[in-house]
Structure 1
Amino acid sequence: MAHDIAQDNRKISTAKEDGSPTPTLREHPSDPVEPPESDLNRPTPNNGGEKAGHDQSSASSDPNLLIVDWDGPDDPQNPKNWSYRQKWAATIVVSSFTFISPVSSSMIAPAANQVAQDFNITSDVMVALTTSIFVLAYAVGPLFLGPLSEIFGRSRVLQIANMWYLVWNLACGFAQNEGQLLGFRLLAGLGGSAPLSIGGGVLGDCWRPEERGRAMAAYSLAPLLGPVVGPIAGGWIAEYSTWRWVFWSSSIVDGVIQVFGLFYLQETFAPLLLERKAERIRKSMDTEKVQYKEVRTVFEGEHRKWQTIFRKAMFRPFVLFFHEPIIQLLGVYMAYLYGIMYLFLTTMPDIFGTLYNESPGIAGLNYIALGVGLTGASQLNARTLDRIYIYYKNKNGGVGRPEFRLPSMAIGTVILPIGLLIAGWTAQYKVHWIAPDIGIALVGAGVILNFQCIQTYVVDTFTLHAASALAAVSCLRSLAGFGFPLFAPTMYNALGYGKGNTILAAAAIGIGCPAPFIFWFYGERIRQWSKHGK
């Protein structure tokens, strides 16, 4: 750190002595730079899917002002210049946070009947609520945790939120009545929701667009694979132990992940890192001959006040949701995907326990089919997402566009309704268990392909404010994840699994199939209306 300060001070002194304009150490042109508030509505050129920075001529020539930026395009303090080892360490830790929280969201599903017996719960809706109330908190948490990460930094907010989740998830295992369990679950979900929005921001901070696909594939798989692994473990816990160990075991795993996070999750948010650099310069100026009246970062406007920053950050997810067509359109479809996912997670114990007469442990193994679909499609997509992006970028004269993430989504929108029809009708007629499992695997593949493409598209479009953008999208999807399991028992009791899934498949076709084609042909035009995107 002393070396960095000395280096910064030498640059300050040199600039002052030779009378040259105050230097601004420009970031790589493809990295996101937020202009001052007065420039937010000014069109900026698109460069590989990232917002272009200010030209060198826009730097202040005021000798009393120092604008702090990166030390050139190869500054090692810039997260985009980190080694692959550092980037993947951050990606793995964030993905682990994003994995363990959804494990808790669904792990209780196979043991829900045990909970109902212990607490004398007779309503099917209330039994489903013990599972889905955790997801309700997912709709609320990101709306303030995402913006807070854009004020206080990604790492700090992520780890504090995870500790909050750990405390209340552990408390769930000691609940003595239904009210305590529901309350503790809701509070745990608030902390567990942080990685769903902040994680995408971390990846946007440290990965360049042409590298980002594989990292986003790993991150996007975590919140969907977690709810699959949870019921598998929960089924065996329910069969051989008490439901309380569902919470205690997941808390132990989260504690291990938290330890790794303390060592390997470094701060990635560029405005905060440059603010720390500016603060080091301010402190060091006390020992220098030359003083600046003001030192601020390239991200800061002339009249920067903490209250203004906080207000804008906290309201940004709502502003994005109400004013950005991209968030509205993709948010609705992602909400439907998440709702389908949690509908399957909560109804599968009923399907294989009641229709196929399987024990809780054996019934839980059918979640492997969902996991196979999610993991298999995710791995294939991870290997092709960046290649497709680079291919179309080269065809477009070296200029990347977020729309180059969408080809895989076109495949996912077709696979999803096919899987829904197979799963529903084979279960309806009690065909051998492998048949509905095949349908469930296709549902998982369709969900993850769409999920990954949408998340990567949103991060590419709103890079600097990716956390707030994902928070806006997460709100809708989490409300659907909360609501779908509540109406599923009534729907299937009235219509059966065949007709029920046919309705879901028809909705998937109507909502999903047009989406990738609309954004492929009109996405750039839609983004031009945006005040926050690129």
Structure 2
Amino acid sequence: MASTQQYGDANQEHQHGSNIQQNPSTSLGWRHEKDRETDSRPNAPNPPQSSTEQEFDPIEPLTWPRRQKWVITVIISCFTLIPPVSSTMLAPALTQMSADLGIKEPVVSQLTLTIFMLAYAIGPLLFGPLSETIGRSPVLLVANVFFLLWTLACGLSRTVPEMIAFRLLAGIGGSAPLAVGGGVIRKSDLWAAEERGQAVGIYSLAPLLGPVIGPLTGGWITERTTWRWMFYSTSIAAGVAGVIGLVFLRETYTPVLRRQKQPRETVPSGGTSESLTKRLRLAFTRPLQFFITEPIILVVAIYMACVFGILYIILSTFPKVWAEVYGESPGIGGLNYLSLGIGYVLGSQANTHASDAIYRRLQKRKSLNNNDDNLEGEPEFRVPTMFVGSVLIPVGIFWYGWSVQARTHWIMPNIGSFIFSLGSVTCMQSMQAYVIDSYARYAASGLAAAVLLRNIAAFGIPLFAPYMYDALHYGWGNSVLGFAGVVIGIPSPFLFWKFGKKIRGRSRFAPQ
């Protein structure tokens, strides 16, 4: 490659990657030491914390008009919403689809549903770093076409192996917005720290609201027509989103925008392909590096795995609960997913406003204590709302499980689901914002590493849900999940709040 002036911060990392190979003693030192020295200079300019403080710069998305930033944020949120809808839309139709495809084992039937989440664990490892190499926009648009084609193939499948393979490939394409969106909605792309809460709230609501919308619509599609139309309708939605994105979506990654503005400045002769290869190799291995070496990512990943595993157990077993316990049809039973959806929407809006307000208040207190009005906030300022959310999660699970066990009125398990969704969306949003704030320009890779274990849990845990409920029934079966939420969930916010800054201080990726 050429110089860092030509390619920006992303290539500083590549240059250091070359030095790593020459100096094994610094093999874990991915951050360029020159960056640290430059950041600590007394006369080095501090980036402003709000786009209103900067003049418009076409290669600095942080300075773009708010309307344009919101258009991009909403489009990416739509891209992020559609694949999760497809991930669970099949749940109400598992019985009908199993009969058509000749599936007899419950675990195989569940596999056709959850294999999508295994793809969600694989895809971000590629798309997150790739978006930091060639840009956000091309990754999103191409992956959306990939998702559309394989989702359409699912609707045309005639055998079980075809369905499983096509669902896996569709999930890989659908995972791109999950990996790329976190990088777009961060400081070096669109939003300053104190403005980011609401944008992150809308973006992170999509992967939680999507799995609720899927079964809700899937139930009525199953009643009115064939299960194949669930895939056809999702393909149509992906096509519409793709056209809108092609027209309105803009590149937001500053190093790529610099290269687009200076197309004549190229790397030395013969070095282009080698440079790109090295950058991709470093980028693809970075999420795994995060997962292994970053304690923050490990804790976030375990917590996300717990919450998402529980969520997908509930989502995958909801149709059976309402059909067998309450005798409801697929369409009417699907309406019960509204309790989760309402909880996610209300919880998301409440949490984003509360998170931003708390962040600004704590930032102001920090500035007053240090007599410096320009001090930035800290990632730990996103944690306070998690204290509430981590308690609501097990409360909702216990309420839901024992209400179903006692066969109470249908509103009671829905109240439990509502409480669970309030807590889960609060914690999920706060954790995503915490990772984004902690890792700045490595946010996409950080999120890819953080969601790895979460999506593996969403894939594997529901496979055993039918056997768990057969053995323990809904009361004690959900109590096992609730106790897991207590043991793993409740201590985590205290860990972040008390030790988060100290742990980040030892990180080679988190800016100090």
Partner Cα distance (1:257, 1:447) in 2: 27
1:137–1:189 contact (8 Å) kept in structure 2: yes
Q: Residue in 2 aligned with 1:485?
A: 462
Cross-structure match for 1:232: 216
Higher mean C-alpha displacement, 419-428 vs 253-262: 253-262
**What is the deviation of 1:267?**
0.6
In structure 2, distance between residues paired with 1:34 and 1:213: 29
Which of the residues 262, 278, 283 maps onto 1:308?
278
Shift of 1:276: 2.3
Shift of 1:278: 3.3
Aligned to 1:247: 231
Whichever structure has more helix as a proportion of its residues is: 2
- Structure 2 residue aligned with 1:350, among 294, 308, 320? 320
User: In the alignment, does 2:450 pair up with 1:466?
Assistant: no
The one-letter code sitting in structure 2 at the alignment partner of 1:227 is P
Picking from 359, 367, 389, the partner of 1:412 is: 389
| Cα distance between partner residues in 1 of 2:454 and 2:174 | 15
Equivalent residue for 1:84? 66
Displacement after TM superposition at 1:336 (Å): 1.0
Aligned counterparts of 2:378 and 2:12: Cα–Cα separation in 1: 19
Which consecutive unaligned segments of at least 5 residues does structure 1 have? Answer: 1-21, 46-50, 60-71, 284-292, 295-303
| TM score, norm. by length of structure 1 | 0.84
Could you tell me how far apart the structure 1 residues matched to 2:56 and 2:335 are?
49
- The match for 1:371 is 341
Alignment of 1:511-530 (within 5 A): 511-530=488-507
Are 1:394 and 2:385 counterparts?
no
Task: State the partner residue of 2:48.
Answer: none
Cα distance in 2 for partners of 1:91, 1:173 equals 30
- 2:93 match: secondary structure: helix
Judge conservation of contact 2:10–2:133 (CA < 8 Å) in 1: no
Alignment partners' CA distance in 1, 2:144 and 2:38: 34
- By how many angstroms is 1:482 displaced? 0.4
How far apart are the structure 2 equivalents of 1:491 and 1:311?
42
Please tell me whether the aligned partners of residues 396 and 416 of structure 2 are also in contact (alpha carbons under 8 angstroms): yes
Structure 2 CA distance for partners of 1:270 and 1:52, relative to 1, 3 Å: farther
SS in 2 for 1:211: helix
Contact 2:305 2:458 in 1 (8 A): yes
| 93, 114, 133: which one aligns with 1:132 | 114
SS in 1 for 2:226: coil
The letter for the 1-side match of 2:75 is: V
Cα shift readout 1:379-438 (whole Å, capped 9, x = no counterpart): 111212111111101111133100000011111000000000000000001000000000
Cα shift at 1:308:
2.4
Matched, 1:160 2:137: no
Q: Deviations over 1:268-325 (max 9, x none)?
A: 1111112223335x38xxxxxxxxx99xxxxxxxxx9333212111110111111111
Matches within 5 A, 1:437-452: 437-452=414-429
Looking at structure 2, the residues matched to 273 and 131 of structure 1 have their Cα atoms a distance apart, in angstroms, of: 39
Q: Of the two, which has the highest radius of gyration?
A: 1
Q: Give the TM-score taking structure 2 as reference length.
A: 0.88
Do 2:56 and 2:64's aligned partners in 1 also have CA atoms closer than 8 Å?
A: no
- What letter is aligned with 1:262? L
Aligned pair partner of 1:259 in 236, 243, 257: 243
Q: Say whether the 8 Å CA contact 2:212–2:340 is kept in structure 1.
A: yes
AA in 1 matched with 2:277: Q
Relative to structure 1, the CA distance from residue 416 to residue 52 in structure 2 (aligned partners, 3 Å threshold; closer, same or farther) is farther
Q: Distance in 2 between matches of 1:522 and 1:44?
A: 25
Q: Distance in 1 between matches of 2:507 and 2:127?
A: 23
Find the residue that maps to 2:509 and give its secondary structure. Answer: coil
Query: Pairwise CA RMSD of aligned residues?
Result: 2.6
- Aligned pair partner of 1:476 in 453, 472, 480: 453
2:26 is matched with none
C-alpha distance in 1 between matches for 2:176 and 2:484: 30
Q: Does 1:40 align with 2:31?
A: yes
Please name the residue that 1:8 is paired with: none
In 1: Cα distance, 2:12 partner to 2:358 partner: 28
Q: Could you say which residue in structure 1 is the equivalent of 2:183? A: 201
Indicate the residue corresponding to 2:371 in structure 1.
none
TM-superposed deviation, 1:56? 9.1
Number of residue pairs matched?
474
Confirm or deny: 8 A CA contact 1:324 1:530 kept in the other structure: yes
Aligned position for 1:19: none
Q: Equivalents in 2 of 1:409, 1:436: separation in Å? A: 23
Of residues 277, 298, 305, the one that matches 1:335 is: 305
What is the alpha-carbon distance in structure 2 between the residues aligned to residue 483 and residue 34 of structure 1?
39
Identity of aligned residues (%): 45
Structure 2 residues not aligned, in runs of 5+: 20-29, 46-52, 269-273, 368-374
Do 2:88 and 2:315's aligned partners in 1 also have CA atoms closer than 8 Å? yes
2:394 touches 2:483 (CA, 8 Å); kept in 1? yes
